[in-house]
């Protein structure tokens, strides 16, 4: 399986979302030889689910993101709003699978256990399960002690392939919690800022580089990773579809 590291743009989170989706489409068309794990540290953004964009408070939520210096974007995977900084690791795993539709729950169980195991190996008392009042609530979140959320997971399924996306909050919880409070208030969704945790708080001796290495090693042990570069065709497709991931209409040149 390919391992692709890093951002594709200096400061365009919408293009990052489009690129992961383009990877998914490539795998859908091309088969298992195009399975890939992408890992990157985003610039400050709030990634909204498409259902968020249909809520009456979405414009106010997007404005709050801009006011805080975060770019609002629409992600491909399901779920609710997630806030990230460069102290976040995003793992986007795409895999060819003719039975993709039927395996959703099993993937949540499997990868939730894998991610929680990595955190336990780093000395964090981690477990899988929803934290009361958490952002992007789900039964397969990874938390510390069931009290603060550290990793959120979501999926997107297309024909013969799936995307499993994991957002790992390494640090910046004090910056994320107030923003998420404003965003979720605007969307009219229950949220408890005390539910936002970070790996750095739980394991102060762990660096983000060490965390990335541990996560990569776990996937390498399972799938066998080979470092790879971006295919130009994937980047071209992402650029052609980036508008789908902007959280507001873009101005056009006159």
pLDDT tens digits, one per residue of 229-243: 999 999 999 999 999
Model pLDDT, residue 254: 28
- Cα–Cα distance measured from residue 252 to residue 24, given in angstroms and rounded to the nearest whole number: 28
What's the pLDDT band for 77 if we cut at 50, 70, 90? confident
pLDDT at residue 89 in the model? 98
pLDDT tens for 115-165 read: 999 999 999 999 999 999 999 999 999 999 999 999 999 999 999 999 999
What's the CA gap between 42 and 61, in Å, rounded?
19
Task: Calculate mean pLDDT across residues 109-114.
Answer: 98
Q: Is a pLDDT exceeding 70 seen at residue 251? A: no
Percent of the chain with pLDDT over 90: 92
The mean pLDDT value for 204-215 works out to 98
pLDDT at 76: 85
Find the mean pLDDT for residues 39-49.
97
- Calculate the average pLDDT of the chain: 95
Whether the per-residue pLDDT at 253 is higher than 80: the answer is no
Read off the pLDDT of each residue in 174-191 and give the average, rounded to a whole number.
98
Q: What is the mean pLDDT of residues 175-181?
A: 98
CA distance linking residue 247 with residue 184, whole number of Å: 16
Which three-class secondary structure string do you get for 114-173? HHHHHHHHCCCCEEECCCCCCCCCCCCCEEECCCEEEEEEEEEEECCEEEEEEEEECCCH
31: left (phi over 0), alpha (psi -120 to 50) or beta: left
Q: What is the pLDDT of residue 101?
A: 87
pLDDT band at 27 (very low <50, low <70, confident <90, very high): very high
Average pLDDT estimate for 51-65? 95
Max Cα distance, the chain (Å)? 56
Rounded distance, CA 35 to CA 219, Å?
12
Kindly indicate the confidence band of residue 250, based on its pLDDT and cuts at 50, 70 and 90: very low
């Amino acid at each position: 399986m390919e391992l692709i590291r890093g951002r594709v743009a200096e400061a365009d989170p919408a293009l990052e979302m489009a690129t992961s989706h383009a990877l998914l489409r490539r795998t859908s068309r091309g088969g298992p030889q195009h399975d890939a794990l992408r890992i990157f540290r985003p610039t400050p953004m709030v990634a909204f689910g498409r259902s968020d964009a249909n809520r009456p408070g979405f414009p106010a939520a997007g404005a709050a993101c801009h006011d805080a210096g975060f770019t609002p974007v629409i992600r491909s995977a399901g779920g609710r709003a997630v806030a990230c900084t460069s102290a976040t690791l995003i793992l986007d795993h795409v895999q060819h699978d003719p039975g993709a539709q039927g395996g959703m729950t099993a993937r949540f169980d499997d990868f939730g256990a894998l991610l929680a195991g990595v955190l336990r190996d780093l000395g964090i008392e981690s477990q899988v399960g929803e934290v009361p009042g958490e952002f992007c609530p789900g039964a397969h979140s990874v938390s510390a002690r069931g009290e603060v959320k550290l990793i959120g997971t979501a999926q997107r399924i297309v024909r013969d392939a799936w995307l499993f996306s994991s957002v790992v909050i390494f640090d910046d919880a004090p910056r994320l919690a107030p923003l998420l409070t404003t965003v979720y208030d605007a969307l009219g969704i229950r949220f408890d800022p005390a539910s936002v945790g970070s790996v750095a708080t739980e394991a102060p001796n762990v660096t983000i580089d060490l965390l990335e290495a541990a996560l990569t090693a776990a996937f390498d042990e399972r799938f066998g990773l080979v470092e790879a570069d971006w295919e130009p065709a994937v980047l071209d497709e992402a650029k052609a579809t980036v508008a789908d991931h902007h959280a507001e209409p873009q101005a056009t040149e006159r």
